[in-house]
Amino acid sequence: MRASRFLCHKEGFTILKYLVAVTDHLAAFAVMLGIILNLPLTGSSSSRKKYTVIFAVLGIIAGCCVFGVRMYDPRGMNLLLMRFNRRLVVAIACVAVLSVLTVFFRKLNALIVSVMLFLSLMYLVPPVMQYTREFVYFGESGISTNAMLRALGFTLGLITCLLLVLGAYEVHGSLRSDRERRTFLFASLFIFACEYAASAVAALQRLRVLKTSDSLFGVSVFDVMIWRDANQNAFLFAQLALALVMLSFVILTHRTPEGIFPNRALLRKEKARLRDCRRWSWSLGVFWMLAVFIVIVLHYYDTKPPAEIQPEPYDMEDGIISIALDKVSDGHLHKFSYVTPNKYDVRFLVVKKPAGTAYGVGLDACDICGLAGYYERGDEEVICRRCDVVMNKNTIGFKGGCNPVPFEYEIRGGKIYIDVKELEKHETRFK
């Protein structure tokens, strides 16, 4: 009951959005990264650490640079960045396949894996950093409660993923043999390679290298693209399932010492080591359950559209609709309906904007998604029911994108006045 009340509370929804977004984006990579960091690679141990750590740090720096370019948006860079990202996805897929092959032939090359980490982080970091730009909404103070809650949700998402890295690293290091380690590494890299191979097919199609009618191993490019779009989290769940199998395997195989021990001290030492391995496995189990709870349960609550808002009553005289401001001044989305002489049900929205005393007024329809309509989430967001695009309430009433189509109205004497002729101009949108 308490959890339900929290989720329904505005602060809960403010935190949820960023917690879910960051975990969705990084959890699969976090599991693989924890496994990779514990793998015996070709070359010395110091060489392995040097390659993986340096290239991972360089990948994060490169990703921040790409984000900086995107943030300041130099003229003409949007198209170049889009093409760069598509080529980057293809490069990641190629290097990931090479990494899988090196594991298959029992010689995991440190340089290949390090390059894969570099490219992957360069690709993953910018969209994660992009969330930081949404901490402060238009017209808000940088130290407002909502801004701090958004930053908290973002931070909790990063912490969750770091815990997955740590848990996967420790549990994978607990495996008894090199064969067992390579088996789980191969599985994790294979899942990662399949994920980016599917994304690379879509990227190559958009780069006009492939056509939608082309066939790959008996499957059309178009079918691959449709499957990838419809199964965004399939590879995330596959990596999490692999982590569950790995921790369960360690728990089952680390219950009793194996072999002969010259004295009781060595036996006690081995028992303590096995106990630590089981504890790390249980810890990864807790981190695993947290991640699953976030990407399934919290994601559901975060994206679940509410029931359709019923149109509210209003006054009308001589073809002029009037709505008292005190009825729509609570900051929430209010929906109204006007049936035209041609029997079209024209729906329109009114919302008081969070910043200042202005009101947003527009149709319950847009130029892109038609009459799908909108619903409200939290205190700041309006969501399109068809494409799930999020709009800040401060932008309602502006033209462009998936925003509600604006129309002429007037505010005076504590009321909003709308001429029904303005609504009748848009009646065909509601066929």
Q: Torsion over CA of 5, 6, 11 and 16, rounded to 10 degrees?
A: -120
Rg of the chain over CA atoms, in angstroms? 27
Contact yes or no for 315/392 (Cβ under 8 A): no
Tokens found for residue 269: 């030492």
Predicted confidence at residue 117, as pLDDT, reads 93
Q: Residue 426: enclosing H or E segment and its boundaries?
A: none
Predicted confidence at residue 4, as pLDDT, reads 40
Question: pLDDT tens for residues 76-112?
Answer: 677 788 889 999 999 999 999 998 888 777 666 778 8
Predicted confidence at residue 13, as pLDDT, reads 62
In whole angstroms, what is the distance from residue 1 CA to residue 387 CA?
31
In whole angstroms, what is the distance from residue 83 CA to residue 68 CA?
17
In whole angstroms, what is the distance from residue 278 CA to residue 241 CA?
18
Strand spans (E) along 345-385: 345-352, 359-363, 374-377, 381-384
CATH number, domain 315-430, options 3.50.50.60, 3.40.190.10, 2.102.10.10, 3.20.80.10:
2.102.10.10
Low-confidence ranges of the chain (pLDDT < 50): 1-10, 42-44
Q: Is 332 helix (H, G, I), strand (E, B) or coil?
A: coil
Q: Domain ranges in the chain?
A: 2-303, 315-430
Q: Torsion over CA of 126, 132, 134 and 135, rounded to 10 degrees?
A: 170
Predicted confidence at residue 82, as pLDDT, reads 85
In whole angstroms, what is the distance from residue 204 CA to residue 221 CA?
10
Residue type at 83 in one-letter notation: R
Residue 351, beta-bridge partner list: 360
Predicted confidence at residue 381, as pLDDT, reads 74
Predicted confidence at residue 1, as pLDDT, reads 36
pTM of structure: 0.74
Burial of 151 (0-12, 13-18, 19+ CB in 10 A): middle
Contact yes or no for 353/359 (Cβ under 8 A): yes
